[in-house]
Amino acid sequence: MARHLITSALPYINGIKHLGTLIGSQLPADLYARYQRGRGHEVLFLCATDEHGTPAELAAAKTGEPVADYCARMHKVQADLARGFRLSFDHFGRSSSPQNRRLTQHLAGKLYESGLIEEVTEKQVYSNADGRFLPDRYIEGTCPNCGYDKARGDQCENCTKQLDPTDLIDPRSAISGSTDLEVRETKHLFLRQSNMRNQLNAWIDSKEDWPILTTSIARKWLNDGDGLQDRGITRDLDWGIPVKRGDEPWPGMEGKVFYVWFDAPIEYIACAAEWAEAHSLDDSAWERWWRTKKGASDVRYTQFMGKDNVPFHTLSFPATLIGSGEDWKLVDFIKSFNYLNYDGGQFSTSQGRGVFMDRALEILPSDYWRWWLLSHAPESSDAEFTWDNFQQSVNKDLADVLGNFVSRVTKFCRSKFGEAVPDGGEMGARERALIDDITDRVRAYEGHMEAMEVRKAAQALRAIWVEGNEYLQEAAPWATYKEAPEQAAAQIRLALNLIRLYAVLSSPFIPDASASMLKAMQTSDDAWPDDVANALAHLPAGHGFMVPEVLFNKITDDQRDEWQAQFSGVQD
């Protein structure tokens, strides 16, 4: 039994996330976690809300809440939505947790002892209109690298180049829009990443199985221009983790907090500590996942994230862990994703454009969304959600292929043999060929899942569903029954076992439908089909079943048009 540590990029606390954010990290991570659990492996699947920084302060100010209260409320909102989408986190933590505070301060102290943190007097942008230093993310301007006119002060979302606020052309406050900015001196701590460039290069070069998207972004940040730059890890803010060296004060850093991008990835580790505490376990329970000298050397650690998060996870976070000189587990594989766009444009919270997680669950169950998002995951390039494509995928894949098979088989059996697996007859050449074909397809499906090829895995799963429908059409038990009812019984017995097999194989993608199929087959046995032939004889003659409710309703043209107008963002 292997051990899999799985993390997805932390969703930011300020607001409900759209479908693009969901498919960019959390949903494919859940797919992989469910698959590995299904194969019998030990899994620890972690995520948390990312709660520090100016966006949280501003969002709280808009609602009139203290920022801590706002974050607590929004954590519950996001946790509830995660459950609604059946995200199977072992723990959904918070970056504001006491565990993350202690660990962040501890690692900062270790980095200081290693000579990898230095105090720098730097010039930062101060907004006279706002009466404050502006965090990098709240300075906007034109990117000097690509010319994008809405680049942020820490990174250009268009070209992903790492920036400093003073690099921007025509900068303005993202809070007030004011251009009345001036540069003032302030002291901050910098992580001396540049000292670790060779180590990070060698580490990334060793990851020959990483996706090209991941390694290309990492190498671009490492080697373009002046190469890897030292990064400030503190900010002039009220909300965040106070700057300390372990338990000791940090002279000259009073009133400052750690930069959100320093403490947020550390929450992956702290989240495991939160999980252990929530289950009344001691430190050894989480350390066996994160400390190589305490068992984590046997762990396979996989991270899931959107491409904009790659630089911090391939450079800054590894630099923190390596630079500490301690035995922390480093990531083994980073699965990164491109962007999902919405119907010819982008998702927009301010314009009400696109489908957000809460509204999605109001109109359709989670399996509909899970299937479309995963089967259209933006792996090799950006993808686009359109209502036409969504309707076609739901209707053809879920309703016509899978749902129709389950309905036809169970209803026919009930009408001719009753609500039990029929006895009699033997498998012929057609049935043996089907088992061989299904076996080959299951092994291909497993290969794609192991490689985290999400779209290919979805295609392979659908092909397995199609095999059942094609067999049903060729065998035609409704015709066979007239001349050879025992042969029809054998055909239907195999088809009923296919339903159970589909439930097991489909569980990572569509867990609710999977549970419905298992319930209909009156079994809780969801063992993975290592031997497909045995799996297709799992339900014996006489085993009871029920005809389930319709697994998937088709989306009508009227519904499609209504939803397209509803989520277009067009105002009256």
Please state, in angstroms and rounded to a whole number, the distance separating the CA atoms of residues 417 and 491: 12
Question: Which whole number is the average pLDDT over 152-172?
Answer: 88
Q: How far apart are the first and last CA of the chain?
A: 58
Q: State which amino acid sits at residue 203.
A: W
DSSP bridge pairs for 539: none
| pLDDT reading at 49 higher than 60 | yes
Paired tokens of 138:
């709240």
pLDDT band at 572 (very low <50, low <70, confident <90, very high): very low
Please state, for a pLDDT cut of 90, what percent of the chain lies above it.
86
Task: Confirm or deny that 413 is annotated as ligand binding.
Answer: no
**Number of residues that make up the chain:** 572
Domain boundaries defined on the chain = 399-535
pLDDT of residue 226: 66
**Which has the closest alpha carbon to 94: 66, 56, 149?**
56
Q: How far apart are CA 94 and CA 72, in angstroms?
A: 9
Are β-strands 42-49 and 91-94 bridged in parallel, bridged antiparallel, or unpaired?
parallel
pLDDT band at 155 (very low <50, low <70, confident <90, very high): confident
146 known member of a binding site: yes
Fold category of 399-535 in CATH: Isoleucyl-tRNA Synthetase; Domain 1 (1.10.730)
Residue 369 near residue 19 (C-beta atoms within 8 A):
yes
- Tell whether the model's pLDDT for residue 160 goes beyond 90: no
Provide the percentage of residues in the chain whose pLDDT is more than 70. Answer: 99
| Residue 125 to residue 117: CA distance in whole angstroms | 22
Amino acid at 390: F
Q: Return the residue matching tokens 């989670």.
A: 366
The H or E element spanning position 46 is strand 42-49
Burial class (CB within 10 angstroms; exposed 0-12, middle 13-18, buried 19+) of 162:
buried
Consult the annotation and say whether 159 binds a ligand. yes
143 annotated to bind ligand:
yes
Q: Is 215 annotated as a binding residue?
A: no
| Per-residue pLDDT at 299 | 98
Segment 407-446, tens digit of pLDDT = 999 999 999 999 999 999 999 999 999 999 999 999 999 9
What are the φ/ψ torsions at residue 567 (nearest 5 degrees)?
-105, 15
To which residue do tokens 């606020």 refer?
165
pTM of the entire predicted model: 0.92
- Quick: pLDDT tens for 438-475: 999 999 999 999 999 999 999 999 999 999 999 999 99
Helix (H/G/I), strand (E/B), else coil: 439: helix
Q: How many other C-beta atoms lie within 10 A of the C-beta of residue 205?
A: 10
How many whole angstroms separate alpha carbon 55 and alpha carbon 476? 61
The single-letter DSSP state of residue 229 is: P
